[in-house]
Every structure is written in C-alpha cells, then in structure tokens.
Amino acid sequence: MFIKRRAWNRLATLCLLAAVVFFVLQSSTLIAQTVPQAVPESTADTTPVEEPNPTFAAYAEAMKIPYEEAERRLVLQYKMNEVEIKIAEAEPTYAGSWTQHEPTFGLVVALTDPDGKAIVEKYLQGIEWADLVEVVQRPRTLVELESMLDQTQAILKGVEGLSDLIYATGLNIQVSKVKLYSPAPEALQAKLVQERVLQGSPVKLEDIEFLLQEQPVAFAQWKYPYLLGGTPTSTTVVIES
C-alpha cells in the first residue's frame, strides 16, 4: 500500500511538473505575441522617403532647374493666381497677366493705365513675393482684345478661300494682338492686304500676329493651361473652325 502511494505521489509530481513547464511555455509565447519587440537600432530612426511630386518633377525637367526650385515656383504661381483674379475683377483697365518663367520667374500684370504700378501695389500689401511682380502698359484692355478677336473672326468668315489658310485664331495678351495660325502665314497676310479685307474695320493689320501651324488641330477652347503660364487670366487661346 505504501509503495503504491509513493508511486502515485511520484506520478502526481511528474504531472504537476509537466503542467508547470507547459504553463511557462504558454506564458512565454503569449508574452512574445503581446509585448512589442525592440526595433533594431539601424532602422529605429529611419523615416519614409517622400515620393517626388510628378508635376514639380516635370516642371523641373522642362526648365532645367532643381526640384526644390520647381516646387517653390509652382506653389508661388498658385498664390499669384489669386492676386491676378482680384485685379482682373476689380480693375477696368486690366489688360491681362501671365506667369513669366524665363529668363527669371515672376508675375507680369498689364494695364492700360499709365500709372498701373501704383494701382497694382495696393494688391501686394503684405505679400512676401511682391518683388516678383512686374507691371507693364498695353494699348487695350483684355475685354477690348477679346472683342477684337471676335471682330476678326467675323470679318474672316466672309472671305472666300481662307479655309485652307487659317487653322486657328487666338490672343497674344503679352503684346496685345490677335493671333492667326496658318500653314502659310506670308500667303495669308498677302491675301488680306491684296483683297483689302480689313479696310474700314476697327482691326488693323498691325493688330494681327501671323504664326505658322503646319497641321490643323481638333476644335477646342483652351483657357487654362496646366503648367507653364497656367492661370485663368494669363493665357487665352481659342480655336475655331
């Protein structure tokens, strides 16, 4: 009887020891799963590398400037656009504006008023990039220039033989002129002169810029160029049939 009890006690002890070992192993596994593991020192301070903005990268490549400078310019261009809109909406002598990318970066604002610089200065109060703004004088307002484009298109529609000589029309607000795109600019200009197409009209030959365009393009109206010069008030190109 005593021997059987010793054997049972030994068996019970072994079972208890096995249970303790199993508990310890389970506890170790649980701790390993719930306690954060130490990060190796070589990667603890590593921060994700930010991917370059494709718009900034494309502009940097086009202008051959560093990526950081491209980012600075395009962020500034967005802010400049806000000022352009304010001037365009408030000033009756507004003649257009555009972003200048070469030889230096900046904003050019055109007014018909000879005292345009003083007019624009009130919109630049407290603006840190005010020194990047240039004010120029032009002979006609943007509204007048757009009206001249409409008049030019109306005049040319009544002239025979121009369908193959004019592919598109538009505006060059930098010089305050109407643009005619043609596969043969010299022939187009000669035809307008010889047939006196503009005689008696408010549109003069010197108000027109004749530009080469070898192929016609799909009919469209582009008023918001995406990147270079990209502001609602900086460029207007209208393509007509």
pLDDT averaged over consecutive 10-residue blocks of the chain (241 residues)?
Answer: 39 42 40 42 60 92 96 96 97 97 95 98 97 98 97 92 90 96 96 95 96 75 42 37 34
The answer to whether the bond into 40 is cis (omega within 30° of 0) is: no
> What pLDDT was estimated at residue 43?
53
Q: Residue 100 gets which letter from DSSP?
A: E
Q: What is the predicted pLDDT for the residue at 45?
A: 56
CB 86 within 8 A of CB 231: no
CA distances from 49 to 39, 46, 52, 68, 236 (A): 19, 9, 9, 15, 39
CB 98 within 8 A of CB 235: yes
Domains detected in the chain: 55-137 (3.30.300), 142-238 (no CATH)
In terms of Cα–Cα distance, which of 90, 137, 96 is closest to 235? Answer: 96
Cβ-proximal residues to 156 (8 Å cutoff; 6+ apart), any chain: 162, 166, 169, 197
Rounded to whole angstroms, the Cα distance separating 157 from 202 reads 16
> Exposed, middle or buried, 59 (CB in 10 Å: 0-12/13-18/19+)?
buried
Q: 3-class DSSP state for residue 208?
A: strand
Instruction: Compute CA distances 234 → 80, 107, 157, whole Å.
Output: 11, 9, 27
Amino acid 197: pLDDT = 95
Task: Enumerate helices (H) and strands (E) in the chain, giving the number of each.
Answer: 7, 8
Angle in degrees, 0-180, between the axes of helices 67-90 and 54-63, rounded to the nearest 10: 100
Please count the other Cβ atoms lying within 10 Å of the Cβ belonging to residue 233. 20
Label residue 236 exposed, middle or buried (CB < 10 Å: 0-12, 13-18, 19+).
buried
Helix (H, G, I), strand (E, B) or coil at 181: strand
Say which residue the tokens 């070469």 belong to: 102
pTM for the structure as a whole: 0.69
How many Å is the maximal CA-CA distance in the chain? 137
Residue 156 is predicted with a pLDDT of: 94
d(CA 109, CA 141): 12
**What was the pLDDT predicted at 59?**
95
pLDDT of residue 49: 64
pLDDT of residue 50: 74
